[in-house]
């Protein structure tokens, strides 16, 4: 029986029987599942360590290649405000669930941690942070949208919308009959898709909406062939917070592929 200290972000806790639970924690380079005995009891000293949206440091034991077992630990940071805001909760639960179907790595961990910190601070960029997590997931899964021109003809002129069925931007000709997107929405989506890890400060992360996050979560679900319960919850919450479109719907010209400062 070996022992190991783990420090990471609690993504999900699932009941296991009447008293126990299995906790999924994002470490910087991997996702791990930890068996937590007795944590469904209100008197459990480890109960607090098994709640989503917390950063914890725990000591575990493991027999061979079996599941880690929780011994004890401490709370490093608590992101309780996520649970106090229905929109934040819906977005972050959907993001967490998508991560469960992907591979964790340091850049993704950083973006997830920054999202939680932004939510806790009530920063205006929290939805932009969520968009960055989702677009990184899309990129690493090889299902990124085409945002360097029309996904059908490659034209960089007269971009008027973005479409899941056609896998990216569409020009006026091929977007005929589809709802046009405002220029600012096309711009922020392109920025979210294109910005490299470590250069997030180079783009504006404000202005993102619940509809933007819904679109990216749906994209992930559609092209990863994954049914996300979090997507359905996000959809139901979005109906409670209708958003009005804004900005011009005039067609746009896409700049050079490496330019993330403008669209």
Higher pLDDT, 256 or 67: 67
* Residue 260 is assigned to a structural domain of this protein: no
- pLDDT at position 245, please? 52
- pLDDT at position 243, please? 75
Considering the domain architecture, whether residues 26 and 107 belong to the same structural domain is answered as: no
* Residue 7 is assigned to a structural domain of this protein: yes
* Residue 251 is assigned to a structural domain of this protein: no
Considering the domain architecture, whether residues 65 and 128 belong to the same structural domain is answered as: no
Other CB atoms within 10 Å distance of the CB of residue 37: 16
Q: What CATH number does the domain containing 106 carry?
A: 1.20.1440
Considering the domain architecture, whether residues 33 and 90 belong to the same structural domain is answered as: no
Confidence of residue 262 (pLDDT cuts 50, 70, 90): very low
pLDDT at 175 over 80: yes
Tell me how many domains the chain contains.
Answer: 2
Q: Which of 19, 43, 78 is the last residue of a domain?
A: 78
Considering the domain architecture, whether residues 161 and 215 belong to the same structural domain is answered as: yes
**Residue pair 43/31 in contact by the 8 Å Cβ criterion:** no
Q: What percent of the chain has pLDDT above 70? A: 92
Q: Show Cβ contacts of residue 189 under 8 Å, excluding neighbours closer than 6 positions.
A: 131, 145, 147, 162, 212, 215
**Domain interval for residue 61:** 2-78
* Residue 197 is assigned to a structural domain of this protein: yes
Min mean pLDDT across 10-14, 103-107, 184-188, 253-257 is at: 253-257
Considering the domain architecture, whether residues 118 and 142 belong to the same structural domain is answered as: yes
Considering the domain architecture, whether residues 29 and 131 belong to the same structural domain is answered as: no
Considering the domain architecture, whether residues 206 and 221 belong to the same structural domain is answered as: yes
Q: What CATH number does the domain containing 17 carry?
A: 2.40.50.140
Report the alpha-carbon distance of residue 44 to residue 234 in Å, rounded. 32
pLDDT digits (tens, 9 = 90+) for 53-97: 999 999 999 988 889 999 999 999 999 999 999 999 999 999 999
* Residue 217 is assigned to a structural domain of this protein: yes
Considering the domain architecture, whether residues 11 and 112 belong to the same structural domain is answered as: no
- pLDDT at position 132, please? 98
């Amino acid at each position: 029986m070996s022992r190991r200290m783990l420090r990471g972000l609690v993504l999900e806790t699932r009941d296991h029987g009447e008293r126990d639970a299995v906790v999924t924690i994002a470490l910087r380079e991997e996702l791990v599942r930890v068996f937590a005995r007795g944590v469904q009891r209100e008197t459990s000293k480890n109960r607090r360590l098994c709640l989503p949206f917390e950063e914890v440091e725990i000591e575990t034991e493991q027999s061979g290649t079996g599941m880690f077992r929780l011994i004890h630990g401490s709370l490093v940071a608590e992101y309780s405000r996520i649970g106090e805001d229905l929109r934040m909760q819906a977005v972050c639960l959907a993001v967490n669930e998508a991560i469960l179907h992907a591979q964790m790595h340091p850049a993704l961990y950083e973006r997830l941690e920054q999202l939680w910190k932004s939510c806790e601070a009530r920063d205006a960029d929290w939805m932009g942070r969520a968009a960055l997590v989702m677009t990184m997931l899309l990129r690493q899964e090889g299902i990124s949208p085409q945002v360097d021109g029309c996904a059908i003809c490659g034209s960089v002129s007269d971009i008027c919308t973005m479409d899941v069925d056609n896998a990216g931007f569409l020009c006026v000709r091929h977007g005929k009959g589809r709802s046009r997107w405002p220029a600012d929405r096309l711009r922020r989506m392109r920025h979210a898709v294109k910005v490299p890890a470590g250069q997030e400060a180079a783009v504006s992360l404000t202005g993102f909406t619940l509809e933007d996050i819904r679109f990216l979560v749906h994209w992930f679900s559609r092209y990863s062939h994954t049914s996300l319960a979090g997507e359905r919850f996000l959809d139901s919450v979005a109906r409670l917070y209708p958003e009005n479109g804004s900005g011009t719907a005039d067609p746009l010209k896409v700049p050079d592929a490496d330019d993330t400062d403008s669209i």
